[in-house]
């Protein structure tokens, strides 16, 4: 079985967020334990598994995502990577619909090679700053918001971009503050650089200390910054070591995430399910 490593939310190799992609030939998923073993072996923030569905239904492919230690409800970059593989191999020529834990998702390819994902918007709820969060994160929160069931993060606003970039969290302590992790964000220091807000994503609850570019986090970042900046169409920079840009478009209960991807490894999985 072929396995591909795709760098997502970037237009050049060795940047953005790498994801494993395995397209299964059967009509069902193997046991979750086997998928988890493969994801642990790939050892990227997420590995996506997809299999085709019969024509005429509400979705074209079934999709699941695994970190090295857990299955997750929603993943943007591995969905972008999967859609990229489907389009670059000719298995898809138009919009692709996926059924996943978080509902029906879709991916639309554009002539310039970019892809737009249609995801559910994460509902935000302002919360008191939890005791110990500032010490665990390594920065003082301006505000804290819950992000709903599918991502289960805390969205933490900091005073400025420099504060986000300077964070050096205590990951063991940070894991106690949310189900999946913490999204730290601030407005861009200089929007002329091509982005409106900056973020970093720390997800020790699912085995990922820092994620390079987190598409799902932008389903919460989009409504947060759209409300503050008064615009529905924005660009976010995730300021990890690999870095990447996510163009967000808030459409009520749905958020559109647009980016590009590059396949960097195409190999063979030498095992059976």
State the Cα–Cα distance between residues 266 and 273, nearest whole angstrom.
19
- Length of the chain counted residue by residue: 273
Asked if residues 98 and 79 have their Cβ atoms less than 8 Å apart, the reply is yes
Residues 175 and 266: their CA atoms lie apart, in Å, by: 34
Nearest 5°: the CA angle 56, 59, 64 is: 145
Catalytic (active site) residue 46: yes
**Active-site choice (37, 41, 46, 189):** 46
Query: Residue 88 to residues 4, 12, 51, 65, 215: CA-CA distances in angstroms?
Result: 12, 16, 17, 20, 20
H-state helical runs in 117-212: 133-137, 161-165, 171-174
Q: Indicate the SS3 state at residue 58.
A: coil
Please state, in angstroms and rounded to a whole number, the distance separating the CA atoms of residues 221 and 198.
9
Q: Are 49 and 35 in contact (CB under 8 A)?
A: yes
Strand, helix or coil at 96? strand
- Residues marked as catalytic: 46
């Amino acid at each position: 079985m072929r396995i591909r490593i795709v760098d997502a939310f970037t237009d050049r190799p060795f940047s953005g967020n790498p994801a494993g992609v395995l397209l299964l030939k059967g009509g069902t998923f193997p046991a979750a334990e086997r998928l988890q073993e493969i994801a642990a072996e790939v050892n990227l923030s997420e590995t996506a598994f997809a299999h085709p569905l019969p024509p005429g239904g509400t979705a074209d492919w079934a999709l699941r995502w695994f970190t090295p230690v857990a299955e997750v409800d929603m993943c943007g970059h591995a969905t972008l990577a999967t859609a990229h593989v489907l389009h670059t191999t000719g298995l898809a020529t138009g919009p692709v619909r996926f059924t996943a834990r978080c509902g029906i998702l879709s991916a639309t390819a554009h002539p310039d090679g970019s892809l737009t994902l249609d995801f559910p918007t994460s509902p935000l709820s302002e919360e008191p700053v939890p005791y110990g969060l500032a010490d665990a994160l390594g920065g003082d929160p301006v505000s804290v918001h819950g992000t709903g069931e599918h991502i289960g993060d805390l969205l933490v606003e900091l005073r400025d971009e420099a504060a986000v970039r300077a964070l050096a969290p205590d990951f063991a302590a940070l894991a106690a503050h949310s189900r999946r992790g913490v999204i730290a964000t601030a407005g861009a220091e200089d929007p002329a650089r091509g982005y409106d807000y900056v973020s970093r994503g720390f997800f020790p609850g699912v085995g990922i200390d820092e994620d390079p570019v987190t598409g799902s986090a932008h389903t919460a970042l989009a409504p947060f910054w759209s409300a503050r900046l008064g615009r529905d169409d924005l660009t976010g920079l995730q300021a990890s070591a690999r870095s990447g840009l996510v163009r967000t478009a808030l459409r009520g209960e749905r958020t559109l995430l647009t980016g590009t991807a590059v396949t960097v490894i195409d190999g063979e999985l030498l095992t059976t399910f």
